[in-house]
């Protein structure tokens, strides 16, 4: 259990545990241990348009996990924000040919996201309109729930700029970054086109799964007729830490995951590896980032019958402490000259020193999507990685993993890439404003 959940009021070990809290821990069709640390500010109920009957957001039932996360800033929230425990990720196809409609939708999305991350309804009219004969401006399943650290991050895919036939769909082709190209094929890929790619994406992360699902549902509702959902993915149990204050989590293989992940406190390393800099490409993306998503199915049953010794050789770390083989502590440096770490182990091949210094900021989540036709768990890792340039980031690292011993136990079934614009800096700003202007 992370140190955040050991001491948080109302956590599973605290006095504030209630039936509502137990249900929240169980999730909706998935299971996971609640991991917290959401930073931000608390909002009072007096705000206009707040959720009806939302209660005191300092209620011990939720503890510190009720806090809202700041929406505005130089960068979008949900990238270096301390990773929440729940994810709803959705990719969309653009179904309109009208540039003005697309731009207006992004304005509406931004306004709704600003409200929802503050614990308010998606629209000013809320879920219970004054005129019952009119459709609600919010779907209502998040009534009575706090902000729960919700962050909403948006990205633009290659198809938003150039259509499948090479046409300039919205007069934006000249603003398409060179790095924003569909990812190349990698050895071992078994990609399913119906759950890959997309023209737009939404990443909603929160400490409550219902809050994350509510966010995506309402943005999809607002976008009806302009965009349609292409595919989506629920995730639980973060598999990376994005803050030094968070304990390293474990993935479904039972190993600590993302020990050397870039953290929010990395300073210059974030500028070098995560944030797009002026001169990297079109100026509208300066201060933004690129996100790569990969759905990685794990052959859980095969892994579970593998000896501990072999598991540790494949990963390159011991299972109990997460320490590099041949060392004693999790954060001991990975010595690439050490014979104790196999040549084709995962940590050796993924190490920045094996990839010309390339480092990624990961925000991955575990998933369990029922069972396969063979009666095995359809489970694995929904991998998300943010970087300054995917050509020198994810693509460089993934190519180096072609001989990874772990490849015997995983299959990449979904793949997508999106350019995430910078954050919004005021009430009149919106996602992609610099691109459209």
Q: pLDDT digits over 157-200, tens only?
A: 999 999 989 999 999 999 999 999 999 999 989 999 999 999 99
Token pair recorded at residue 150:
């919700």
The whole-chain average pLDDT of the chain stands at 88
d(CA 308, CA 388): 37
What was the pLDDT predicted at 317?
98
Confidence class for position 116, pLDDT limits 50, 70, 90: very high
CB of 201 within 8 A of CB of 91? yes
Q: Give per-residue pLDDT as tens, 198-241.
A: 999 999 999 999 999 999 999 999 999 999 999 999 999 999 99
DSSP-based three-state secondary structure for 395: helix
Strand ranges inside 209-311, DSSP E: 227-238, 289-298
Confidence class for position 126, pLDDT limits 50, 70, 90: very high
User: Which positions ≥6 away from 153 have C-beta within 8 Å?
Assistant: 76, 77, 78, 79, 202, 203, 204, 205, 291, 420
Going 222 to 286 to 164 to 193, the CA torsion angle's sign is negative
What was the pLDDT predicted at 326?
97
Confidence class for position 71, pLDDT limits 50, 70, 90: very high
185: number of Cβ within 10 Å: 9
**Helix 99-117 vs helix 209-222: crossing angle, to nearest 10:** 150
What was the pLDDT predicted at 29?
37
Domain span holding position 118:
3-436
User: Which positions ≥6 away from 316 have C-beta within 8 Å?
Assistant: 324, 325, 334, 341, 342, 345, 346, 347, 348
Q: What percent of the chain has pLDDT over 90?
A: 84
CB of 176 within 8 A of CB of 162? yes
Which residue's structure tokens are 């993934």?
A: 398
DSSP string, 218-241: HHHHHTBTTEEEEEEEEEEEE---
d(CA 180, CA 215): 26
d(CA 428, CA 421): 16
Nearest of 423, 436, 352 to residue 152 by alpha carbon: 423
Going 220 to 226 to 231 to 233, the CA torsion angle's sign is negative
d(CA 263, CA 79): 10
Nearest of 379, 361, 360 to residue 370 by alpha carbon: 379
Measured in whole angstroms, the distance separating CA 288 from the mean position of its chain's CA atoms is: 15
Measured in whole angstroms, the distance separating CA 358 from the mean position of its chain's CA atoms is: 20
User: Which positions ≥6 away from 416 have C-beta within 8 Å?
Assistant: 91, 157, 183, 196, 197, 198, 201, 292, 293
**Does 52 score more than 60 pLDDT?**
no
What was the pLDDT predicted at 97?
96
d(CA 208, CA 25): 8
DSSP-based three-state secondary structure for 288: coil
d(CA 38, CA 309): 36
Q: What is the mean pLDDT of residues 93-122?
A: 98
DSSP 380: E
Q: How many domains does the chain have?
A: 1
Q: Give per-residue pLDDT as tens, 278-298.
A: 999 999 999 999 999 999 999
More confident residue, 248 or 44: 248
CB of 388 within 8 A of CB of 275? yes
Q: What are phi and psi of 250, to 5 degrees?
A: -115, 145
What was the pLDDT predicted at 66?
87
What was the pLDDT predicted at 138?
97
Confidence class for position 10, pLDDT limits 50, 70, 90: very low
Q: What percent of the chain has pLDDT over 70?
A: 85
Per DSSP, the chain holds a count of helices (H) and strands (E) of 10, 9
DSSP 135: P
What was the pLDDT predicted at 415?
98
Strand partners, 91: 201, 231
Which residue's structure tokens are 């995917």?
A: 390
User: Which positions ≥6 away from 357 have C-beta within 8 Å?
Assistant: none
């Amino acid at each position: 259990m992370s140190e955040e959940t050991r001491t948080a009021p109302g956590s599973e070990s605290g006095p504030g545990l209630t039936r509502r809290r137990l249900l929240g821990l169980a999730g909706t069709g998935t299971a996971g241990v609640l991991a917290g640390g959401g930073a931000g500010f608390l909002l009072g109920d007096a705000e206009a348009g707040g959720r009806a009957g939302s209660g005191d957001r300092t209620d011990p039932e939720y503890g510190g996990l009720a806090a809202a996360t700041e929406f505005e800033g130089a960068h979008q929230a949900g990238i270096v924000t301390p990773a929440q425990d729940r994810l709803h990720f959705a990719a969309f196809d653009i179904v309109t040919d009208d540039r003005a409609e697309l731009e207006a939708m992004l304005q509406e999305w931004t306004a709704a996201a600003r409200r929802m991350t503050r614990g308010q309804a998606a629209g000013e009219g809320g879920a219970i309109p004054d005129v019952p004969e009119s459709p609600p401006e919010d779907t209502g399943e998040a009534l009575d729930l706090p902000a729960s650290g919700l962050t909403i991050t948006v990205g633009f895919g290659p198809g938003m700029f150039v259509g499948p036939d090479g046409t300039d769909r919205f007069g934006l082709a000249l603003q398409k970054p060179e790095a924003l190209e569909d990812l190349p094929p990698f050895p071992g890929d078994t990609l399913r086109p119906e759950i890959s790619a997309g023209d737009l994406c939404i990443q909603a992360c929160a400490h409550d799964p219902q809050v994350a699902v509510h966010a995506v549902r309402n943005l999809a509702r607002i976008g009806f007729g302009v965009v349609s959902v292409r595919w989506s993915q629920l995730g639980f149990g973060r598999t990376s830490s994005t803050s030094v204050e968070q304990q390293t989590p474990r993935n479904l293989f039972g190993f600590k995951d993302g020990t050397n992940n870039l953290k929010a406190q990395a300073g210059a390393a974030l500028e070098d590896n995560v944030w797009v800099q002026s001169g990297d490409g079109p100026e509208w993306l300066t201060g933004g980032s690129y996100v790569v998503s990969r759905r990685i199915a794990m052959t859980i049953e095969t892994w579970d019958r593998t000896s501990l010794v072999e598991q540790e050789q494949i990963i390159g770390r011991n299972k109990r402490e997460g320490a590099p083989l041949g060392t004693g502590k999790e954060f001991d440096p990975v010595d690439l000259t050490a014979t104790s770490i196999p040549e084709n182990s995962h940590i050796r091949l993924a190490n920045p020193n094996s990839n010309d210094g390339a480092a990624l900021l990961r925000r991955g989540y575990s998933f369990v999507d029922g069972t396969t036709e063979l009666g095995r768990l359809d489970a694995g890792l929904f991998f998300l990685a943010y970087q300054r340039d995917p050509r020198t980031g994810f693509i460089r690292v993934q190519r180096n993993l072609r001989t990874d011993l772990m490849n015997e136990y995983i299959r990449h079934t979904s793949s997508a890439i999106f350019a995430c614009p910078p954050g919004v800096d005021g009430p009149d700003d919106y996602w992609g404003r610099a691109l459209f202007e």
